[in-house]
Amino acid sequence: MTDIESRIDTSRPHTARIWNYWTGGKDNYPVDREAGDRIGELHPGIGEYAKADRLFLGRAVRYLAQEQGIRQFLDIGTGLPSADNTHEVAQRIAPDARVVYVDNDPLVLAHARALLVGTPEGRTDYLDADLRDIDTILAAAAKTLDLSQPVALMLLGVVIFIEDDEESYAIVRRLMDALAPGSHLVLSHTVTHPDMPDVDEAVAFWNEHGTPKLTQRTPAAVARYFDGLELLEPGVVSCSAWRPETTSADVAMYAGVARK
């Protein structure tokens, strides 16, 4: 058994594997499917959130590569590989795009090394690190990315795992401070909203039974992550409403894109 395999805990549901289950993936275990179904009973639309967040990633990466000329992506909190990962979307538009993935989930790392293979013209690298390990992330990313040039910092559904508000804001600021002018922040976050009370119940169930625990924030609190940056239209909205290609219902996962 490898070191990574020894770190995989199949006795408790894990958020990355449940997300994978909800989006139709196969990299999950019975304990994850059971928890995913139970959360779905509490909040029937939850599976759509995972799909909406994934579609938002694709639209944001395409926009940045096509419209903003971004050729470098730092994707922290990668999650399990699925269709249209960051490097696939970016390198489809710009084969020379470079992507660094960061995650501390051993199952994600095991699959990333096997599946996330980029174009010959570009680069795709992976890093085993926690979001809090900012110096480690930046030093390792600099081996693949030119941090003197614009980078898209991708933080999709990951700062929800930082419970303390001020710590989470400080992490995002430190990362963006290290990036060049013209860099972009792409961030999504589960929200608590009076119009969606069943989301709170589903999150409470997850935090009692699953790992890692997550923190909801209000839409206004999510918008604060973009302070000091040029927030692009349409602002911080349901990820399904960020420059959608088709009309779909709002979900309790809010997102935005901003330029430094």
Q: What is the pLDDT of residues 215-241, one digit of tens each?
A: 999 999 999 999 999 999 999 999 999
Neighbours of 220 (CB within 10 A): 10
Host H or E run for residue 72: strand 72-76
Amino acid at 111: H
The DSSP output letter for 128 is E
Residue 254 · residue 237 · CB < 8 Å: yes
Nearest to 15 by CA among 43, 48, 50, 44: 50
Please give the Cα distance from 157 to 140 (Å, whole number): 22
Site of tokens 């000091």? 228
Cis omega (within 30 of 0) on the bond before 212? yes
pTM of the model: 0.86
| Pick from 55, 99, 40, 104: nearest CA to 239 | 55
- Over residues 144-198, the pLDDT tens digits come to 999 999 999 999 989 999 999 999 999 999 999 999 999 999 999 989 876 777 7
What's the mean pLDDT when you consider all of the chain? 87
